[in-house]
Amino acid sequence: MEDGEMGLNQVQHVCQKFQILEDQTVAHVLQEQEIHQHLATNKLKTQRVRQNLQVARRLQEEEDERSRQLTQRLCKHTGGEVTGSEDTRRVQGEWDNRHRQPAYREAGSRLRCFASETGQHSDKETTDFVAVKGGEGN
């Protein structure tokens, strides 16, 4: 019977080693899946940041072009000189209200969307950005 017990102990020992190897393999597979998931998430976030940067650059270029056109129109109407007169300020203010606010609202909307996807900013921060830059109630 001693040989039988010894054989049983060896079988149990081999089974324990096999369970340990199996557990290690499962842990390794899960770790690899987690790494691949994080990598894919990071790639997606990077892609979104690049897209948002392109949109921001385009919006800035459009705003700069509108500003340049407004300056040219102001120069025409004031005889070639743009001064700090009340008319210039009024026209500039009207332009700001018409053109800048929608651009900042769009940028704020994109920022809120990006922030919710990445979890990097709170809604209050993005609302503050829009309120400061675009003046939602102005």
User: Please, what is the Cα angle at 120 between 34 and 56, to 5 degrees?
Assistant: 115
- Torsion of the alpha carbons at 61, 67, 72 and 77, rounded to the nearest 10: 160
86-136 pLDDT tens trace: 666 777 777 677 666 666 667 667 666 666 666 655 445 444 544 444 444
CB neighbours (10 Å) of residue 134? 19
What pTM did the predictor assign?
A: 0.42
φ/ψ of 79, rounded to 5, equals 75, 30
Average of per-residue pLDDT values in the chain: 78
Average pLDDT value for residue range 53-79? 89
Top-confidence residue, 48 or 94 = 48
